[in-house]
C-alpha cells in the first residue's frame, strides 16, 4: 500500500485529527427512546493510521452529546472533552497507550446518549403527526450535525462504510440496505424490535441517517419504494411512481450505472427543513413535493443526482460545496431535458434558478464572501452559508464549460470525472486539474485551446453574479413574462393599458410557469397596489393552492403590496410547512411589512414544530436583524 501523508486537513469545520487517523468503518447500535427523546447506545469506529508521525491521541468531533465510556481495542481508555468551541462543538480527545504504526488500525468504541440540545434530530409527539397515533423521529446531519448524535470525524473529507443496528418500537429506515430479517411492523405490545442495515459504499458522516415512526411502504418502481405515513401512502405512491425509474435511467445514461442498489424515498412530516436530503438508499423528502399534480417531483431528480454527485464524489469541505450542489443541479436539469423531451426544459428550470440566485445575492449583498463559488468558512458555521448560490452559480459554471467545449465533448468528461473521483472527496483545484488533464492538448487539442479562455480565479473567487450571460432559451417562460408585463402596465398609472386580467390568462399553465410569473411580479421596481394583489390571488386561485411553490410566492407578492389581510394566510402556512425555502422568505416578508408582532407570535406558536436547524436560522437571520427581542 502506498504511503499516505496528509500534512494539513482540508476541512476547517472539523476539530478531528483526521490527518493522523481516518475512519474506515463505523458501527452504530442505538435504542430509540421516544419517551426520553434520545438515542442511547454505542458507536464503534475502525480507524487507520495514515501518517508516520507519532500520534498519542485520537480527536473526534462532538456536540452536546453525553459520553459514558470509551474503549480502545476493547480496553478502557482515558478521554476528555475539550471546552466547547462554537460553532463546532467540543473535541473528544482519547489517549492512546502507544502510537499506531502507519496503516495499522484500531477500534474505538464509545457509549453515548444524545441530549435535548442535539441539532441533528427532531422528535415529534403523536399530536404533531398526521394521524395523531404514534411519535416520530428523524435525523438531518448535513452539514456538521452528525457530531451531535455520536462522536465522529464529521467532515466530508472522510468516508467510511457503515452498519446500523437500531432498536425501536416503530418501523425504522436508515441510509443503508435493510437486512432481510428486518420486521415490517412493530410488535403488537409495543416492545422494541431490532432493525439492521448496512452501507457497503463508503459515505461521509453527514450521510448517516435514521428515521422511525408509523411508516407504510409502497413500490414506485422496479428498484424503488416510497415510505411515509399510512394515511399519505397512496397519494405519495401516485405522485412518484410515474417518473422515479425514468429519472434513474436518465441519470445512468449521463454518468454510469446506479451504484447503491435501491433508490427509495421517505416522505417526511412537514417540519422537514429542506426540499430533500440525499441520504443514500432513502432520500428524505419534504411533503411539499406531494402537490397532487406531479408538478414538484423534479426534487427527486435532484436528490437522485446526488447518488453520483455528493454521495459517490464528494466535496472535501463545505468551502467547495458547489462541487456537490452545482454538479447535482447540472445533472438534475440534464435529466429533466431527457425525461421531458428537450433542452428548453433545462433552460426553463435554469431561469427559475437564476431568480433564486438573484434573491440569495440580494440577501447577502453583492460583495459578500458567501456569494463566491469557493468560500472561506474558517471559524464559521456552514449552515450560515447555505443558500441557492452553490447550486445555481455552480450550475452556471458547468453550463458555461459545456457551452465552451460543446455538449458532446463535455458529455465525454462527465463519466470520466465521476470515475476518477468515485468513492473519494475533492476540492475545486482537483476538479480543475481533472478537467484540464482530460482535455489536455495531446488528447483534445481544440478543447484545450478553448479552456485557455477560462478565467478560473474569477469563477472561483469573484463575489456576486457570474461574469457570463447564459442566454437561456425562454420559449417556455415567454408566456409568463408577457403576462407579467401586462400586470406591470395594468398597475402602473404612468404606463396605462386597456388589458384586464381574467382566469384565461393562466389556463393550461404549469406550476413552474406560474412561479416564473410571480417571481417577475416580485421583481417589479415598485410593488403592486394591495387591491391588485388581492385580485390576482382570487382570479388566478394562487392564494391557498396546495402547491406551496406557487402559494408561497404569491403570499410574498401580497406582503410586498402591503395587503395586511394576507398575514392570516402566511401564518397559517408557516404553521404547517417547515421547509426553509418557504419559511425564511415568508418570515422576512412579515417583518418587512411591519407585522413583527405577528411574526414573533407565529414563531412562538410553531417553534417546536420547526426542525432545530430551521429554528436556529429564523432566530439568527430574521429576528436577530430586527432589533426585536429574540424569541
Q: In terms of domains, do 409 and 500 share one? A: no
Query: If DSSP codes are grouped into helix, strand and coil, which group holds residue 556?
Result: helix
Per-residue pLDDT band at 620 (split at 50, 70, 90): confident
Judge contact between 251 and 331, C-beta under 8 A: yes
**C-alpha grid cell, residue 245:** 425509474
Q: How far apart are CA 322 and CA 298, in angstroms?
A: 19
Domain closes at, from 275, 307, 339: 307
Q: In terms of domains, do 346 and 201 share one? A: no
Domain closes at, from 276, 307, 338: 307
Assess if residue 66 is contained within a domain.
Answer: yes
Assess if residue 148 is contained within a domain.
Answer: yes
- pLDDT tens per residue, range 443-478: 899 999 999 999 999 999 999 999 999 999 999 999
Per-residue pLDDT band at 5 (split at 50, 70, 90): very low
Q: How many domains does the chain have?
A: 4
**C-alpha grid cell, residue 418:** 465521476
Query: If DSSP codes are grouped into helix, strand and coil, which group holds residue 616?
Result: helix
Q: Which residues are annotated as a binding site for Zn(2+)?
A: 302, 306, 325
CATH number of the structural domain spanning residue 262? 3.30.2010.30
Q: Residue 205 class from Cβ within 10 Å (0-12 exposed, 13-18 middle, 19+ buried)? A: buried
Q: How far apart are CA 499 and CA 489, in angstroms?
A: 9
**pLDDT recorded at residue 442:** 82
**pLDDT recorded at residue 631:** 47
Q: In terms of domains, do 148 and 39 share one? A: yes
Q: Name the helix (H) or strand (E) containing 137.
A: strand 136-139
Helices and strands (DSSP H and E) totals, the chain: 18, 22
Assess if residue 618 is contained within a domain.
Answer: yes
Q: How far apart are CA 206 and CA 208, in angstroms?
A: 5
Average pLDDT over residues 82-110: 96
Q: Kindly tell me if the per-residue pLDDT of 401 is higher than 80.
A: yes
Q: Residue 183 class from Cβ within 10 Å (0-12 exposed, 13-18 middle, 19+ buried)? A: exposed
Q: In terms of domains, do 347 and 378 share one? A: yes
Which runs of E-coded beta strand occur in 356-495? 424-426
Q: In terms of domains, do 545 and 420 share one? A: no
**pLDDT recorded at residue 129:** 83
Q: In terms of domains, do 529 and 402 share one? A: no
Assess if residue 466 is contained within a domain.
Answer: no
Q: What percent of the chain has pLDDT over 90?
A: 85
- pLDDT tens per residue, range 175-234: 999 986 676 554 434 589 999 999 999 999 999 999 999 999 999 999 999 999 999 999
pLDDT mean across residues, the chain: 93
- pLDDT tens per residue, range 353-398: 999 999 999 999 999 999 999 999 999 999 999 999 999 999 999 9
Going by their DSSP bridges, the two strands 224-228 and 264-267 should be labelled as parallel
Ramachandran category for residue 391: left, alpha or beta (phi over 0 → left; psi -120 to 50 → alpha): alpha
Q: Kindly tell me if the per-residue pLDDT of 250 is higher than 90.
A: yes
Would you give the distance in Å from CA 93 to the centre of its chain? 30
Going by their DSSP bridges, the two strands 264-267 and 282-285 should be labelled as parallel
Q: What is the dihedral of CA 348, 324, 299, 285, to 10 degrees?
A: -160
- pLDDT tens per residue, range 502-527: 999 999 999 999 999 999 999 999 99
Going by their DSSP bridges, the two strands 57-62 and 276-277 should be labelled as unpaired
**Number of CB atoms found within 10 A of residue 154's CB:** 31
For residue 630, give the DSSP letter.
P
Domain closes at, from 175, 193, 208: 208
What's the sign of the alpha-carbon dihedral 263, 267, 271, 275? positive
Q: What percent of the chain has pLDDT over 70?
A: 95
Q: In terms of domains, do 95 and 181 share one? A: yes
As annotated, the active-site residues are: 303, 391
Q: In terms of domains, do 300 and 314 share one? A: no
Q: Kindly tell me if the per-residue pLDDT of 630 is higher than 50.
A: no
Q: In terms of domains, do 219 and 203 share one? A: no
Q: In terms of domains, do 588 and 517 share one? A: yes
Judge contact between 350 and 458, C-beta under 8 A: no
- pLDDT tens per residue, range 309-345: 999 999 999 999 999 999 999 999 999 999 998 899 9
Average pLDDT over residues 295-312: 95
**Number of CB atoms found within 10 A of residue 566's CB:** 25
Q: What is the dihedral of CA 177, 180, 182, 183, to 10 degrees?
A: 130
CATH number of the structural domain spanning residue 568? 1.25.40.320
Q: In terms of domains, do 485 and 420 share one? A: no
Q: Kindly tell me if the per-residue pLDDT of 80 is higher than 70.
A: yes
Reply yes or no: is the peptide bond before residue 87 cis, omega within 30 of 0: yes
The closest of 284, 274, 259, 267 to 175, measured between CA atoms, is 284
Per-residue pLDDT band at 243 (split at 50, 70, 90): very high
Q: In terms of domains, do 318 and 403 share one? A: yes
Q: Kindly tell me if the per-residue pLDDT of 628 is higher than 60.
A: no
In which domain, by residue range, is 363 found?
A: 308-461
Give backbone dihedrals phi and psi of 569, rounded to 5 degrees, phi first: -70, -35
**pLDDT recorded at residue 527:** 94
Per-residue CA distances from 389 to 93, 357, 518 (Å)? 36, 6, 21
CATH number of the structural domain spanning residue 57? 2.60.40.1730
Q: Kindly tell me if the per-residue pLDDT of 137 is higher than 70.
A: yes
Average pLDDT over residues 246-259: 98
Assess if residue 471 is contained within a domain.
Answer: no
Amino acid at each position: 500500500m502506498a504511503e499516505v501523508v496528509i500534512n494539513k486537513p482540508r476541512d476547517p469545520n472539523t476539530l478531528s485529527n483526521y490527518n493522523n487517523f481516518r475512519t474506515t468503518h463505523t458501527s452504530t447500535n442505538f435504542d430509540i427512546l421516544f419517551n426520553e427523546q434520545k438515542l442511547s447506545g454505542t458507536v464503534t469506529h475502525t480507524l487507520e493510521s495514515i501518517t508516520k508521525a507519532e500520534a498519542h491521541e485520537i480527536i473526534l468531533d462532538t456536540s452536546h452529546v453525553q459520553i459514558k465510556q470509551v474503549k480502545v481495542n476493547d480496553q478502557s481508555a482515558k478521554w476528555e472533552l475539550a471546552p466547547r468551541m462554537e460553532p463546532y462543538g467540543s473535541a473528544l480527545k482519547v489517549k492512546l497507550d502507544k502510537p499506531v504504526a502507519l496503516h495499522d488500525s484500531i477500534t474505538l468504541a464509545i457509549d453515548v446518549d444524545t441530549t435535548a440540545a442535539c441539532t441533528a434530530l427532531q422528535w415529534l409527539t403523536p399530536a404533531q403527526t398526521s394521524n395523531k397515533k404514534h411519535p416520530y423521529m428523524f435525523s438531518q446531519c448535513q452539514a456538521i450535525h452528525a457530531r451531535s448524535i455520536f462522536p465522529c470525524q464529521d467532515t466530508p473529507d472522510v468516508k467510511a462504510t457503515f452498519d446500523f443496528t437500531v432498536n425501536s418500537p416503530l418501523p425504522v429506515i436508515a441510509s443503508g440496505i435493510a437486512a432481510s430479517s428486518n420486521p415490517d411492523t412493530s410488535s403488537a405490545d409495543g416492545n422494541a424490535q431490532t432493525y439492521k442495515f448496512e452501507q457497503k459504499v463508503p459515505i461521509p458522516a453527514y450521510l448517516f441517517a435514521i428515521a422511525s415512526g408509523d411508516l407504510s411502504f409502497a413500490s414506485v418502481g422496479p428498484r424503488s419504494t416510497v415510505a411515509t405515513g399510512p394515511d399519505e401512502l397512496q397519494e405519495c405512491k401516485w405522485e412518484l411512481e410515474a417518473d422515479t425509474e425514468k429519472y434513474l435511467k436518465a441519470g445512468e445514461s449521463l454518468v454510469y450505472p446506479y451504484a447503491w442498489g435501491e433508490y427509495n424515498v421517505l416522505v417526511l412530516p412537514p417540519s422537514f427543513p429542506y426540499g430533500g436530503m440525499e441520504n443514500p438508499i432513502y432520500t428524505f423528502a419534504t411533503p411539499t413535493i406531494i402537490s397532487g399534480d406531479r408538478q414538484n417531483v423534479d426534487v427527486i431528480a435532484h436528490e437522485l443526482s446526488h447518488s453520483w454527485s455528493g454521495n459517490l464524489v464528494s466535496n472535501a469541505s463545505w468551502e467547495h460545496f458547489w462541487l456537490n450542489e452545482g454538479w447535482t443541479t447540472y445533472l438534475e436539469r440534464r435529466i429533466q431535458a431527457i425525461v421531458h423531451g428537450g433542452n428548453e426544459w433545462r433552460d426553463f428550470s435554469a431561469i427559475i434558478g437564476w431568480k433564486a440566485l438573484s434573491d440569495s445575492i440580494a440577501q447577502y449583498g453583492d460583495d459578500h464572501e458567501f456569494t463566491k463559488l469557493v468560500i472561506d468558512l474558517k471559524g464559521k458555521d456552514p449552515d450560515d452559508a447555505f443558500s441557492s448560490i452553490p447550486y445555481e452559480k455552480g450550475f452556471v459554471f458547468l453550463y458555461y464549460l459545456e457551452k465552451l467545449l460543446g455538449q458532446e465533448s463535455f458529455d465525454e468528461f462527465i463519466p470520466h470525472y465521476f470515475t476518477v473521483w468515485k468513492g473519494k472527496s475533492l476540492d475545486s483545484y482537483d476538479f480543475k486539474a481533472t478537467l484540464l488533464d482530460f482535455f489536455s492538448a495531446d488528447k483534445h487539442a481544440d478543447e484545450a485551446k478553448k479552456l485557455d479562455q477560462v478565467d478560473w480565479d474569477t469563477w472561483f473567487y469573484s463575489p456576486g453574479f457570474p461574469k457570463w450571460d447564459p442566454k437561456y432559451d425562454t420559449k417556455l417562460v415567454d408566456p409568463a413574462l408577457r403576462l407579467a408585463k401586462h400586470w406591470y402596465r395594468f398597475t402602473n398609472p404612468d404606463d396605462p393599458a386597456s388589458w384586464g386580467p381574467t382566469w384565461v390568462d393562466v389556463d393550461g399553465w404549469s406550476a413552474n410557469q406560474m412561479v416564473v410569473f410571480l417571481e417577475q411580479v416580485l421583481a417589479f421596481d415598485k410593488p403592486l397596489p394591495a387591491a391588485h394583489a388581492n385580485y390576482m390571488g382570487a382570479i388566478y386561485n394562487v392564494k391557498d393552492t396546495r402547491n406551496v411553490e406557487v402559494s408561497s410566492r404569491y403570499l410574498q407578492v401580497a406582503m410586498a403590496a402591503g395587503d395586511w389581510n394576507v398575514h392570516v394566510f402566511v401564518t397559517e402556512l408557516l404553521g404547517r410547512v417547515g421547509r426553509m425555502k418557504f419559511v425564511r422568505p415568508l418570515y422576512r416578508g412579515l417583518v418587512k411589512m411591519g407585522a413583527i408582532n405577528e411574526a414573533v407570535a407565529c414563531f412562538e406558536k410553531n417553534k417546536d414544530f420547526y426542525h432545530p436547524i430551521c429554528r436556529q436560522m429564523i432566530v439568527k437571520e430574521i429576528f436577530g436583524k430586527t432589533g426585536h427581542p429574540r424569541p
